[in-house]
Amino acid sequence: MFAATELNRKNQRTEKLVRILFVLMAGLLILPVLIILTTLVYKGGGILSIDFLFTHPTNGMTEGGILPALLGTIWLVVVALLISVPLGIAAAIYLSEYAPDNWGTRLINLAIINLAGVPSIVHALFGLGAFVIFFEFGTSILAASLTLAIMTLPVVIVATRESLQAVPHAFREACWNMGATRWQTIRRVVLPNAISGILTGVILEVSRSAGETAPIMFTGAVFFSPFLPQGVMDQTMAMSLHLFVVSTQVPNVPEDLPYGVALVLIGMVLIMNSVSIAFRMHLRGKKKW
């Protein structure tokens, strides 16, 4: 009496086909990444060494290492994070916890969506006009990082707002019933429970900031610099621009050099993201809901 009917068998076959389809789709997403990483390791792995990471470029950037570009990228990413993360979190808190649902709030949300779709070259021209010329920061790490921060701000705002809204409203009501103010509730309850989602936006920002070329080309990154940056008002080399330069602008570059630069850039981003993901998983493990 419990034998499978023809309808049951048909549903099982459909379920198996759908499962296989989804597995193939996931594989197609992973396959390009594996091909890219394999190509970079195969063609650029041989040039990796301590000297390559910790020496300056020499002989017209056809030899030597990438230390100025490596440190410059770290400078740009860290300063951009220090600027955009507090601003993005503050804006998301206002939009999620304080702002009323009216035309003004909807206009702000529309502006955030549009800002996320602006091409990076437009951000570069904005950074040149606003930070380099108007505020007279000159071509510097500060100007380039501010441009990157403006460009990646929508990512942080959207990720933070979604994380805040995912916290059950009952948590807020319980705090308010105990006499806590709205800010005390946000600071002690809502933000700690939303921090793992906020880190998602930070991870995306790190990846985009480290890989952008146009916004920093006009605002702070240079073709070549024999000196390491000492502060935010200095110019600097950057990995993304250095990769573009040695790939297209410098003659007689060894074939493995651009691949080695690209491999280090991806490795640096993966390390930063891995640390953030590990911290996010640790925080998610502490959730009680």
Whether residue 79 lies inside any domain: the answer is yes
Domain tally for the chain?
1
Taking only the tens place, the pLDDT of each residue in 11-49 is: 888 999 999 999 999 889 889 889 988 999 999 888 888
Check residue 268 and give its pLDDT: 87
Answer whether residue 194 is part of any domain: yes
Residue 51 in any domain: the answer is no
Q: Residue 92's pLDDT is what?
A: 92
Comparing 51-55, 148-152, 259-263, 274-278, which segment has the lowest mean pLDDT?
274-278
Sorted by sequence, the CB contacts under 8 Å of residue 276 that are 6+ apart come out as 199, 202, 203, 206
Contacts of 92 (CB under 8 A, 6+ apart): 156, 157, 158, 160, 161, 164
Q: For 112-166, write each residue's pLDDT tens digit.
A: 888 888 888 999 999 999 999 999 999 999 999 999 999 999 989 988 998 898 8
- Give, in order, the Cα–Cα distances in Å from 66 to each of 49, 217, 243, 260: 11, 17, 10, 10
Q: Name the band, by pLDDT with cuts 50, 70 and 90, for residue 2.
A: low
Domain contains 52: no
pLDDT for residue 278 is more than 90: no
d(CA 87, CA 145): 14
Look at 22 and 180; give whichever has higher pLDDT.
Answer: 22
Residue 42 inside a domain? The answer is: no
Which of 186-205 are b and which e, b meaning 16 or more Cβ less than 10 Å from the residue's Cβ? beebbbebbbbbbbbbbbbb
Joined together, the tokens standing for residue 272 give 């930063």
Residue 170 included in any domain: yes
For residue 70, the number of C-alpha atoms closer than 13 Å in the C-beta half-sphere is 20
User: Of 88, 62, 48, 71, which Cα lies nearest the Cα of 253?
Assistant: 62
Q: How far apart, in whole angstroms, are the C-alpha atoms of residue 271 and residue 35?
A: 19
Q: Which of 1-5, 184-188, 193-197 has the lowest mean pLDDT?
A: 1-5
**CATH code for the domain of 142:** 1.10.3720.10
Q: What range defines the domain where residue 185 resides?
A: 58-285
285 or 191, which is more confident: 191
Residue 53 lies in a domain: no
Give percent of the chain with pLDDT exceeding 70. 97
pLDDT tens for 87-125 read 999 999 999 888 888 888 888 888 888 888 888 899 999
DSSP 47: G
Amino acid at 215: P
In a domain, 132, yes or no: yes
3-class secondary structure per residue, 95-133? HHHHCCCCHHHHHHHHHHHHHHCCCHHHHHHHHHHHHHH
Which of 20 and 288 is assigned the larger pLDDT? 20
